[in-house]
Amino acid sequence: MTDLSPLFQPLTLPCGTVLKNRIAKSAMSDSMGDGRGNPGPGHARLYERWADGGTALSFIGEVQGDASAAEKPGNLVLGPHTDRLAIADLTQRARRGGALIFAQLGHAGAMAHPPISRPRGPSALALPGLTCDALSAEEIATLPAQFAATAKMAQGLGFSGVQIHAAHGFLLSQFLSPLFNHRTDDHGGRIQNRMRLLLGVIQAVRAATGLAFPIALKLNATDQLAGGLSEGEALQVAEALDDTTIDLLDISGGTYFPGAPSASDRTTQGAYFAGFAQSARRVFRKPIMLTGGVKTARQALDIITDGTADVVGLARALVLYPDLPNQWRAGAALTPQFPRFQAPPEGGITAWYTMRLTDIGLDQRPSFPNLPDAVAAYDARDAARTRLWRDAFGAQ
């Protein structure tokens, strides 16, 4: 029997916060909000189940501070419309058994959902499936304070920490990527300029929340798109991040660009970005989390014992088995069995897993065993919540 005990050793972050083990539930677009920026049915129960299942840390994505820059109408929004009691209930239940919950601070930028948002990115783009305006210098200047205000509100509502989202093609990732960022001012050009906004956001969030509040950051190892952020440039960003006050670097990759394959849908074996994490170790001296492609206890164990990363991020495995950490801790080296879909439409697999999240939160068996029904239900729910969003926040 494989000794999995290294996965269940605690980890102390630089700020002093302790993770009870090395298994985290990576951020996903839960899409479980009620359409008005607040938790929807089963949302709090979902995170309670992951806490009860032994996960040390869950990231809830995406939590928006600007309703005009949302990724989906199921996102949470922290602001004047927030149902504080509902959010506080979610965070309390997500912290059962010593688990932690971090709010992933999102801003979709150019990838904002047009029916409810105003897509705005580093540069104006007019591409098939993606059209956006450019943010002005004045608008960019307001962003660090906006992220900081959202982080401060999250802190007050019981979140254990926050994660600044600079991956997967959302706003801060867009500034890092030459594919999105064609600016010629001090936020464009060389990578030192393209990371300027990100560093400003970190500084503002830390100033707002204090030194004892955990700040994680999610970074792309690569955009996995021609012309996007390269691994070499991503390492320069990681090196710059070592001089900041973040407590945990979450390494992932890929971009939700129209027509681009999702990193989560890859069929290769093992952690997708382990090589980058090993390289990042040489320039980033604080704890590293590795997300993407980890499917077995053996893979998770090797990542920890060989020093590739300090925390293993799981997503779809914890959708299929919410109590997977407890099973592993009990000695069951369970290998999750992932469903296979024939010729899935773009976003179809994500839709299937998203609908499964709702089932978990409602304590019910899978409602949509086949992909077409799951996609239809997902689309219908988004259409209904789009109307609610526009009623709550107005036309953007």
50 neighbors 99 (Cβ within 8 angstroms): yes
Helix axes 231-241, 196-209, angle to 10 degrees: 30
Among residues 226, 202, 231, 222, the alpha carbon closest in space to that of 214 is found at: 202
| DSSP single-letter state for residue 8 | G
The 10s digit of each residue's pLDDT in 360-396 is 999 999 898 899 999 999 999 999 999 999 999 986 6
d(CA 364, CA 234): 41
Does residue 265 carry a pLDDT above 60? Answer: no
Does residue 267 carry a pLDDT above 70? Answer: no
Q: Which residues contact 389 (CB under 8 A, 6 or more apart)?
A: 35, 36, 37, 67, 70, 73, 116
pLDDT band for position 268 (cuts 50, 70, 90): low
Q: Which residues contact 303 (CB under 8 A, 6 or more apart)?
A: 271, 274, 290, 294, 309, 312
Give the chain's radius of gyration (CA, Å): 19
133 neighbors 124 (Cβ within 8 angstroms): yes
The CA angle 385-389-390, to the nearest 5 degrees, is 120
| DSSP single-letter state for residue 39 | B
Paired with 130 in beta bridges are 127
Does residue 128 carry a pLDDT above 90? Answer: no
Q: What share of the chain is helix, strand, coil (3-state, %, to 5)?
A: 40, 15, 45
Mean pLDDT of the chain: 94
Q: Give pTM, 2 decimals.
A: 0.96
| Side chain identity at residue 326, one-letter code | N
d(CA 107, CA 166): 9
Does residue 263 carry a pLDDT above 70? Answer: no
The CA angle 78-83-88, to the nearest 5 degrees, is 85
pLDDT band for position 117 (cuts 50, 70, 90): very high
Among residues 287, 215, 225, the alpha carbon closest in space to that of 251 is found at: 287
% of the chain surpassing 90 pLDDT: 88
CA atoms within 13 A on the CB side of 190: 2
Q: Report the pLDDT value the prediction gives residue 259, as an integer from 0 to 100.
A: 63
